[in-house]
Structure 1
Amino acid sequence: MANSYSASLSGDDTTMRTNNPNSPTASTFVAGDAPDEKPDLEAGMAAEPQTATPGDGYVDWDGPNDPENPMNWSESKKWTNIVILSLMTIVTPLGSSMFAPGISRIMMEYHETSTIIATFLVSIYVLGFAFGPLVVAPLSEIFGRRPLYFWGNVLFTIFTICTALSNGIPMLLAFRLLMGLAGSVPITIGSGSITDIMPVEQRGRAMAAWTLGPLLGPCIGPVAGGYLIRATSWRWVYWLVAILGGLFIPFSWFFLKETYAPAILEQKTRLLQKQTGNKDLRSILSGQQNVKDRFKMAVVRPMKLLLLNPTVTIMALYIAIAYGILYLLITTFSFVYADQYGFDEGTNGLTYLPAGIGMMIGVVGFGQLTDGIVRRNKAKGLEHTPEIRLKPVLSVPLGLALPVGLFIYGWTTEKGVHWIVPMIGVAIFSAGLMGIMGCVQNYLLDAYPQIAASVTAAMSFLRSLLGALLPLGGLQMYDALGLGWGNSLLAFISLALIPIPVVFFVFGSQIRGRFNIKL
């Protein structure tokens, strides 16, 4: 940022630039009376040079190659941020299920026998993931991403310590809910940060790396948690998560950079106002409304997308059902494998490992495939459309993996087949889930890049809500239908969802054009 600015007047317009030609600067445009409208916001987002608009002074990027524009960052700077975000999104979901193998010990310690309480102890954390994004997303679109990452980490660590010190189930439930609320920050706005810095042909790989956290965390956590609980107590699960969360507090402060373009230009604007004394300067990406009104609008935006935009609604429902099934499996593994195969707490933790392995397979395969399709289309001179992310050659096989995995898991556990076979079924299900979630998430981010955080919040709300509520009936469903038909029911539901991406691949652009709601 330059240290001093000079103004050169020409007619009715004033163009302000830095005295130091080697310094990245913002351009502003100043003229007479205030206009009714301001320069186009999407043009500002795209980092295109602006022409003067009679009226206000607008602070913009210093041309298309401004190094302060996150899209122009070096690859190392971009991937440093993505790696930190990916690690953060692994740590916060660890708290959701890392102590699942010790549920029976907690129930005995507090003399509780309800199976609903047993599953709710795990799933209430995901309820925080459902409601947290409704506040986190709008805050990120007003104040930027970086402050939320830092303070979210601080609160997550504090609430985790309080959970470790809980002296009863009500206190345990309350602080697990608060952990979920604070831990929802990287899961909610991580996709927005990636959209801020990555071009569309590289976004699939970056999104796959980031998406791995919310799904992999709940699967690898119980592996360590099972043995940790057996060797010490369930409280040490939370002490370990608190230590990991605490480590990311300095990382998020010193290494994470702001990626949200409006927040960066707002900082430039404030510096320009201070240096020039011109309090009328405004960022070209700022809205006409004050912070209070912008927050109200941003809070409503995710729900408007979810309720009034069928593209977001149906796609979010697909992911929510699949995610809810995953959590139903996760919350019942410790009971199923203990009853069917006699696994103890330590060995029960290993039953979560196949889900993690399947997700890694899905990430490695999907991230490269989807970016490859985009790059090939660009090389052919074809215009990129969001629907390309839903090509049936990808979405149909990935969708089929869900019911196939569920059928294998359900009937092999029902018949007592060697435990490796149901674990293979879980791995197949998880690989398909990871792939289809990547298809859908990238599709929605390509379709609505300017409101990526709100789109993610809408998806996270429905996904986490079903992830918290579906498991509550898991054990009762298995009691009533058995493991075979219980999981077959889930498989038939997931089978019915397969045509959804195909429909949007064919008709998605028409649907989006017809339901272009005002946000």
Structure 2
Amino acid sequence: MESEDDQNIVTWDSPTDPANPINWPSWRRWTLICLVSSCTFVATLASSMFAPGVGEVMQEFGVDNDILSSFVITIFVLGLAFGPLFFAPLSELYGRLVLQHVGNIGFVAFTVACAVATDLGMLIVFRLFVGIFSSVFLTNGGGIIADMVRQEERGFALAMFTVGVLLGPVVGPVSGGYLGAAAGWRWIFWVIAILGGVHAILCFVFWKESYPPVLLERKAARLRRETANPKLRSKYDNGLSPKDHFKHSITRVCKFLIYSPIVLSLSLHMGLVYSYFYLLLSTLTPIFQETYGWTSQSTGLAYLGLGAGFLFGQALFAKISDRILRRMTRRSADGEMKPEYRLPPSVIGGCFVPIGLLWYGWAAQEKAHYILPIIATGFMAFGNCLIFMSIQAYCVDGFTIFAASALAATTVVRSVFAGVFPLAAPRMYAALGIGWGNTLLAGLALLMVPVPQLLMTHGEKLRKRNVKRMENL
């Protein structure tokens, strides 16, 4: 027999309630996934599209500093680190829709500001804010997949979402090299702003709120008005005011990193390999210009190896991730779909990253044919992709209602790594050479390979304790 409190809790009408985003028609769910992936693609274009033209930027502003030339690229990624600290809790308070519109407007406004910047300091600051607002798309991407896609189908959905996350930084330098040479570096930002504006309009037309706590709170408010029963409340209502809820939520990202060894270890793993990707973004241009004599226009083609590696990685993950989940579930004693079953591809990816680094470093060091280091970057990108998507899928499956905060924690760590680590690359390569420098990086990558394997074996109990702790903190 239900108590009075139970009768006043508002939840979905049934497991097939059409108001529940899990039960939305496929076309509506995939519209949102494709929209957020496309927005993320444009945002990540902004992270790297003008990388081949950085020399022109430095020349126009009269600056000759290798660290600043790398920093003007990686400052965007530091913005991705700061943004989730605020946008993840706001997403869990006000939902996905409002945050998506805020992200679109902020992204377009500060991209236009980059296009009209009059000195390097202004450009760096504006790119920081472009990165901050771009983090909304990364936060919302994993969040809406947790909202709308059943666990056994999330691998494919995440693969489709990460097409935008991973291909943008690769397509950017290829297209930016030719556009910058033809029209100047400022037009790179104008094109990005136009693309961002188109996506902002599409989101205003098609985006629909998908966050269950917000939807159920709206349902509870409607029922309170219709029934004159002020005791009705959403099953997610914790009794906190919006102000207190925000204070409670804004620290959740940090709590994930402090109190969850799982999230911290996976964040460090992802952060290391992701920083290698941005290391390549900031060093491929000078290496191919100085070693192989390529022009700034053609240097963008050196990034095609990365693009091919990411495409193969995404195709493989989309094909095998859900299959592995279902197969391991059938073989398990309790028949439970466990988030740990998302991690096997990351073990494979962890082996490809050091192979690609060693191959790339020594091929470039020995001035081998240019196709060899390009192929090597493809190996690294393939491994990077499998690691990235496996960890994303694990966080979505393992922390569901807190998926935005868990993903924000990984985004903060990997973005800090990617924003800072490449700044040390010029001095490291000057001291060790690209061959031994990449050998050092490959060794660090090898140390992280056992992390997902250990979590597959021993992580379940620890994860369940983490989830309970997050609910109480």
TM-score computed with the length of structure 1 as normaliser: 0.87
How far 1:513 sits from its partner (Å)? 4.3
> Which residue is 1:26 aligned to?
none
2:374 paired with 1:423: yes
Q: 1:373 aligns with which of 320, 324, 330?
A: 324
- Answer yes or no: is the 8 Å Cα contact 2:348–2:386 preserved in 1: no
CA distance in 2, matches of 1:55, 1:435: 44
Please tell me whether the aligned partners of residues 56 and 280 of structure 1 are also in contact (alpha carbons under 8 angstroms).
no
Task: Describe the superposition over 1:323-355 as per-residue Cα deviations: whole angstroms up to 9, x where unpaired.
Answer: 011111111111111111111111111112211
Contact residue 327 and residue 467 of structure 1 kept, 8 A: yes
5 Å-filtered alignment, 1:306-321, equals 306-321=257-272
For residue 312 of structure 2, what is the aligned residue in structure 1?
Answer: 361
Does the CA contact (< 8 Å) of 1:56 and 1:282 recur in 2?
no
**In structure 2, what residue type is equivalent to 1:326?**
F
Gaps of 5+ in 2: none
Deviation at 1:395, TM superposition (A): 3.3
Instruction: Give the whole-Å Cα distance in 2 for the aligned partners of 1:346 and 1:210.
Output: 30
Distance in 2 (CA, whole Å) between partners of 1:472 and 1:262 is 41
Describe how 1:280-291 pairs up with structure 2 within 5 A.
280-291=231-242
Partner of 2:112: 161
Q: Deviations over 1:64-105 (max 9, x none)?
A: 111010011112221111111111111111111100001111
Length, aligned pairs only: 468
Tell me how far apart the structure 1 counterparts of residues 346 and 408 of structure 2 sit (CA, whole Å).
23
Does structure 2 retain, via aligned residues, the 8 Å contact 1:377–1:383?
Answer: no
Letter in 1 for 2:257: L
One-letter amino acid matched to 2:81: A
Matches within 5 A, 1:24-423: 51-54=2-5, 57-378=8-329, 382-391=335-344, 394-423=345-374
Secondary structure of 2:11 counterpart: strand
Q: Relative to structure 2, which stretch is displaced further, 168-177 or 252-261?
A: 252-261
CA distance in 1, matches of 2:11, 2:457: 38
Residue 236 of structure 1 aligns with an amino acid whose one-letter code is W
Q: Give the 3-state SS of the residue equivalent to 1:128 in structure 2.
A: helix
AA partner of residue 323 (structure 2): G
1:493 aligns with 2:415: no
Q: Residue 458 of structure 1: CA displacement?
A: 0.3
Q: Equivalents in 1 of 2:3, 2:28: separation in Å?
A: 32
One-letter amino acid of the structure 2 residue matched with residue 134 of structure 1:
L
When structure 1 is superposed on structure 2, of 210-219 and 338-347 the one drifting more is: 210-219
In the TM superposition, residue 269 of structure 1 has moved relative to its aligned partner by: 2.4
Q: Is 1:439 matched with 2:383?
A: no
Say which SS state the counterpart of residue 17 (structure 2) adopts. Answer: coil
- Aligned AA (1:119): S
Equivalent position of 1:456 in the other structure? 407
SS at 1:351 equivalent: helix
Q: 1: CA distance between counterparts of 2:171 and 2:429?
A: 24
Q: What letter matches 2:176 in structure 1? A: G
Q: Quick check: 81-90 or 436-445, which moved more?
A: 436-445
Q: Distance in 2 between matches of 1:83 and 1:313?
A: 29
Distance in 1 (CA, whole Å) between partners of 2:95 and 2:77 is 24
Change (3 A) 1:413 1:271: same
Amino acid at match of 1:408: W
Q: What is the deviation of 1:56?
A: 7.5
Q: Quick one: which amino acid aligns to residue 460 of structure 1?
A: T
1:509, 1:497 → 2: CA distance? 19
1:50-75 alpha-carbon deviations (Å, 9 max, x no partner): x5533873322112111010011112
Counterpart of 1:54 in 2: which secondary structure?
helix
- Distance apart, 1:512 and its partner CA: 2.4
Residue deviations 1:349-401 (CA, integer Å, cap 9, x gap): 1112211111111000012201012233455682211111223xx33322110
Match of 2:422 in 1: 471
Give the aligned residue type for 2:272.
Answer: I
- Whole-angstrom CA distance in 2 between matches of 1:136 and 1:341: 43
Q: Which is worse superposed, 369-378 or 101-110?
A: 369-378
1:512 matches 2:456? no
Q: Secondary structure at the match of 2:64?
A: coil
- Secondary structure in 2 matching 1:111: coil
**Structure 1: which amino acid aligns with 2:337?**
H
User: Which has the larger Rg?
Assistant: 1
Q: Do the aligned partners of 2:328 and 2:341 also contact (CA within 8 Å) in 1?
A: no
Question: Does the 8 Å CA contact 2:48/2:169 hold for their aligned counterparts?
Answer: yes
More off after superposition, 509-518 vs 246-255: 509-518
Q: Deviations over 1:231-257 (max 9, x none)?
A: 011000100000010001121112121
CA RMSD of aligned residues (A): 1.6
2:184 alignment partner, SS class: coil
Give the aligned partner of residue 9 of structure 1: none
Structure 1 residue 514 displacement after superposition:
5.1
Contact 2:329–2:338 (8 Å) recurs in 1: no
Check the 8 A contact 1:337/1:348 in 2, yes or no.
yes
Tell me, yes or no, if the aligned pair for 1:220 and 1:356 is still in contact at 8 Å. yes
Find the aligned partners of 2:464 and 2:31 in 1 and give their Cα distance.
36
Provide the C-alpha distance between the structure 2 equivalents of 1:52 and 1:81, rounded to a whole number of angstroms.
39
Mean Cα displacement is larger for which, 51-60 or 116-125?
51-60
Task: Report % sequence identity.
Answer: 40
Deviation at 1:438, TM superposition (A): 1.4
Runs of 4+ in 1 over 6 A off after TM superposition: none
Amino acid at match of 1:65: T
